[in-house]
Structure 1
Amino acid sequence: MQLFYNPNISDGAKEITFEKEESRHIVKVLRMKEGDSFKITNGKGSFFSAEIISASPKSCVVKIISKEKQPPLPYQLHLAVAPTKLNDRYEWFLEKATEIGISEITPIICDHSERKTIKPERYEKILQSAMKQSLKAYLPILNDTISFKDFMGFEKTFDGSKYIAHCEEDDKKSLKSVLLPKEKVLILIGPEGDFSTEEIELAKANGFIPVTLGESRLRTETAAIVACHSVAFSNEI
């Protein structure tokens, strides 16, 4: 199934005009023409079956044939992950987490962070591409980059289970052992140098439970994927 993304489709839409870049991709690259059909998602849970009625590379127009809803994830997962020193590793995390199933992502800048800036437009495109590739109808929310300290203040109202995965000696529980199906979860994943002791203590003071992701010392992006898969797997049992 060929899936396209258009965030501006309303549930009652009858006709959609794609912008120039997407129109050119449909007509010139994919060589689609009048009468050809494909699906579109608005990233908000809806799939639309569409048929091309005007195959212009500058302005491709389609009519909506039908609409269906994709059930949402049985859980809500928010991962707050420090940007990695090598940007392509963070992009890999974004792609794979979207394929597995994630609700929200926040890049957090920590005491030991080596990368302190990101390219949100680039990250958004990766999320969109991964959503389409994995045939999902929900686009994960990408929040603005925020400092660890500010994130602690922002998340005081979070009403789900909160965990921090770190490498220091501590009374830590296995993440897999504490997860419950159909719950709202927030997990903190630190930078290559791990969270600082002060950050760990601040997180614990704000209700975050220290957890371990296993015996191996994992890279930031690997730890984030292990956490994402653990939450997804806990909802398949």
Structure 2
Amino acid sequence: MELPVFYAGDMISGAAAYTMDEPTSKYCVTVLRKAKGDKILLADGRGGKYTAEITDDHRKKCVSAILETERVPAPAPRLRIGIAFTKNASRMEWFLEKATEIGMSEIIPLITRRTEKENLKMERLESILVSAMLQSRQWHLPKLHTPQPFESLMAAEGQRFIAHCLPGEKNPFYRSPAREKMRYC
């Protein structure tokens, strides 16, 4: 049986023990019924994978001793995606889950002419990213940027690709002979 994974975003490198916060402790001890001596995995979201053993199974502050530390390399290539979120919160949350599961490194919410939701609840979105990271057993948490205008993303260095489903329209931001031959989905 696989060991359960818990988020330890405030884990200090080289620490000998880790104390979970109250909600995580309650889930570990009360829901999963983990007890003193049980082994668990901790993820710091920066590539740290820690094998730990519970030493104090208190439901408000569960303490575990770090037995083994492993550094998991970041997925290559590093992928960033910019997306204009819709008004529908469940679609936004679904997108964040899937983007995390496929290994996106950065997610950039975009503000466009037609954006209806510019003020996002960043804490809620971060918790969705953490849940998706733990569920898919990944060790790197994608960086969620603050919303930024579409124009600033297009002004950034590096390659940029735009996906859309409008037949016959040309993208005014990028022109090349190879691009002229591309078909749109």
CA change 1:131–1:210 in 2 (3 A) is farther
CA change 1:20–1:129 in 2 (3 A) is same
One-letter identity of the residue aligned with 1:169: G
Q: After TM superposition, give the deviation of residue 102 of structure 1 in Å.
A: 0.5
CA distance in structure 2 between the aligned counterparts of 1:145 and 1:83, rounded to whole angstroms: 10
Q: Give the secondary-structure state (helix, strand or coil) at the position aligned to 2:161.
A: strand
Higher relative contact order by CA 8 Å / sep ≥ 6: 1 or 2? 1
Picking from 141, 144, 154, the partner of 2:143 is: 141
1:3-152 to structure 2, matched below 5 A, reads: 3-152=5-154
User: Does residue 1:161 correspond to 2:163, yes or no?
Assistant: no
The 8 Å contact of residues 18 and 65 in structure 2, kept in 1 or not, is answered as yes
Unaligned runs of 5+ in 2: none
Q: Give the secondary-structure state (helix, strand or coil) at the position aligned to 2:79.
A: strand
One-letter identity of the residue aligned with 2:66: I
Q: After TM superposition, give the deviation of residue 116 of structure 1 in Å.
A: 2.4
CA distance in structure 1 between the aligned counterparts of 2:146 and 2:79, rounded to whole angstroms: 17
The 8 Å contact of residues 154 and 160 in structure 2, kept in 1 or not, is answered as no
When the two chains are superposed, the root-mean-square deviation of aligned CA atoms in Å is 2.2
Q: Normalised by the size of structure 1, how large is the TM-score?
A: 0.69
Moved over 3 A (4+): 150-153, 209-214
Unaligned runs of 5+ in 1: 172-199, 216-237
The 8 Å contact of residues 82 and 110 in structure 2, kept in 1 or not, is answered as yes
Larger proportion of helix: 1
Q: Give the secondary-structure state (helix, strand or coil) at the position aligned to 2:49.
A: strand
One-letter identity of the residue aligned with 1:165: A
Q: Give the secondary-structure state (helix, strand or coil) at the position aligned to 2:54.
A: strand
Q: Normalised by the size of structure 2, how large is the TM-score?
A: 0.87
Q: Give CA-to-partner distance per residue, 1:174-194, whole Å, 9 cap, x none.
A: xxxxxxxxxxxxxxxxxxxxx
CA change 1:81–1:134 in 2 (3 A) is same
Q: Give CA-to-partner distance per residue, 1:49-103, whole Å, 9 cap, x none.
A: 0000001111111000001122321201100000112111111011011111110
